[in-house]
Amino acid sequence: MDGTTQFDDGFPSATLFSQGYSYTYDDVIFLPGYIDFPTDAVDLSTNLSRNISLSLPCVASPMDTVTESSMSAAMAALGGIGIIHSNNTPSQQASIVRSAKSHKIPFTADLIFLSPDDSIYSVDEFGSSPCVFVTESGTQGSKLLGVVSRSSWESLGNKEARVSDYMTKSPVSLPSSYNFEDVAGYLEAEKLEYVPLVNEEDGEAVNLVTSANVQSIKGFPKLGLPSLGPDGKFLVGAAIGTRESDKQRLEQLVKAGINAVVIDSSQGYSLYQTDMIKFVKRTYPELDVIGGNVVTTYQARSLIQAGVDGLRVGMGSGSICTTQEVCAVGRGQATAVYKVSSVAHEEGVPVIADGGIKNSGHFVKALSLGASTVMMGSFLAGSSEAPGTYEYNKDGLRVKRYRGMGSLDAMTKGSDARYLGDTAKLKIAQGVAGTVKDKGSVLKFIPYTMQALKQGFQDIGVSSIQSAHQHLRSGKLRLEVRTGAAQTEGGVQEGGAHGLVSYEKGKYF
């Protein structure tokens, strides 16, 4: 048997998704294809939007507990992109964008700043940092004057002295344009514990690299091609809403250097969104605009006609989103991705599958059903690069806060505009808040996830995302719906189908 004979096994996507059912990722399964290439031959390069290409199909969601400068820098270093959330002031969001774009290394440190007249009364003021920076204004946006190391402060006799009396003036620093290998080599050659990275234009301290950082990153899987713009800086996206004030927000973001803007709305089929899309394309024609969220073909056509360069697909499919439960509106994510991408493909508009990603198999399904990239929220939450500090819950687990942008917690900060509820007298939650356990660095677990994605592509017989789309549209890719028992059989269930009393589920090694 040469692997080319067609059997009447399974169903082509056009048949499966025309039966009136709303399927999630777990509802469907692909049948195996013919393998004639090694896993390493799988190409994961793709397009975020019409004019932005990525080497990995990974997008960090614009959520305030997921994507700020550290996450954005890490995703760009891996070959994906981060979308900076807008649950803040326009100047704060623009500052985060500038911070992410000013780096050439795959992380950003939490920097601590003081003015020359300040004093340090407790070691707690250092946080987890080995030093604090002293600048003219006591904030990041001014020239670096000196550095106070934790060890220097601890040996200080008079703890009430002003930092200007004992700081290290004109400290050793490196240009922020240095890449990770350059910085790591310098630290090793000079046998330094840490080195500040400084913006060459204005002398502003923008990052701190420690020898511990270097050792950690050297132990991670090798990074692929980073996502860089025409200016040689990391690609960074940002979210805005559909209100008139968002036009001023966008102006600040464009000045900060964003490469793409996401019109962030839970239901993108609105006059407000189409008007904003047209405004962006008219005012900033070189800026790629991504619309959404949509789940139907008629929603997709409306935004494509308005001029979008990309579409974000998903409504109520996220782990902390309750829109389908509260509002009875939405669509199963597998069906939504297939239906929207079928229309978007005709117009050359890439699709972002947003929500419902719990494992590498969901990546395989989202991309094989027509998406060009996958947006992650809970998948990245709890990582080292996610905003927030770690704490320990009552069971002793190390966790970080994670909340849906439709939660009342997030809405009090301004995200209610995303749900068109900022003018409503009563606020109705369409999401929840909670905690997720420590996942470590995305620089470690995303490469392993991508390797699992490559193996999934190999099993269905496709060597690239583009090839998967071709197989989908030609009917060569065959699918079936899984019963509840089949879903149980396909996973490890404690005391269930496989008879295990207990088990340990490792992600990678």
User: Collapsing DSSP states into helix, strand and coil, what is residue 260?
Assistant: strand
CA dihedral 365, 370, 371, 377 (to 10 degrees): -30
Is 264 marked as a binding-site residue?
A: yes
Is 211 marked as a binding-site residue?
A: no
Is 241 marked as a binding-site residue?
A: no
Is 45 marked as a binding-site residue?
A: no
Is 316 marked as a binding-site residue?
A: yes
Nearest to 356 by CA among 380, 377, 386, 330: 377
CB 343 within 8 A of CB 315: no
> Which residues, at least 6 apart from 173, have a Cβ–Cβ distance to it below 8 Å?
144, 195, 196, 197, 198, 205
Is 151 marked as a binding-site residue?
A: no
Q: How far apart are alpha carbons 193 and 196 in whole angstroms?
A: 11
State the catalytic residues: 321, 418
Task: Beginning with the edge strand found earlier in the chain, give each strand of the sheet holding 194-198 in spatial order.
Answer: 174-175, 194-198, 205-210
Amino acid at 378: S
Is 355 marked as a binding-site residue?
A: yes
Is 58 marked as a binding-site residue?
A: no
CA count, 13 A, side-chain hemisphere, 72: 31
User: Collapsing DSSP states into helix, strand and coil, what is residue 410?
Assistant: helix
Is 378 marked as a binding-site residue?
A: yes
Is 9 marked as a binding-site residue?
A: no
> Which residues, at least 6 apart from 486, have a Cβ–Cβ distance to it below 8 Å?
29
Q: What is the DSSP string of 89-117?
A: -HHHHHHHHHHHHT-SSS------EE-TT
CB 93 within 8 A of CB 252: yes
Is 406 marked as a binding-site residue?
A: yes
Is 98 marked as a binding-site residue?
A: no
Q: How far apart are alpha carbons 339 and 357 in whole angstroms?
A: 18
Element (H, E) at 144: strand 144-149
For tokens 């240095």, the residue is 178
Is 411 marked as a binding-site residue?
A: no
Is 71 marked as a binding-site residue?
A: no
Q: How far apart are alpha carbons 60 and 47 in whole angstroms?
A: 15
Start-end of H helices in 61-210:
69-78, 90-101, 150-154, 180-190
Is 318 marked as a binding-site residue?
A: yes
Q: How far apart are alpha carbons 443 and 216 in whole angstroms?
A: 10
Is 115 marked as a binding-site residue?
A: no
Nearest to 403 by CA among 24, 63, 52: 63
> Which residues, at least 6 apart from 176, have a Cβ–Cβ distance to it below 8 Å?
102, 103, 104, 197, 198, 199, 200, 206, 207
Is 430 marked as a binding-site residue?
A: yes
Binding-site entries for K(+): 316, 318, 321
Binding-site sequence positions for IMP: 319, 354-356, 377-378, 402-406, 430
Q: Which residues are annotated as a binding site for NAD(+)?
A: 264-266, 314-316
User: Would you list which residues are annotated within the binding site?
Assistant: 264-266, 314-316, 318-319, 321, 354-356, 377-378, 402-406, 430
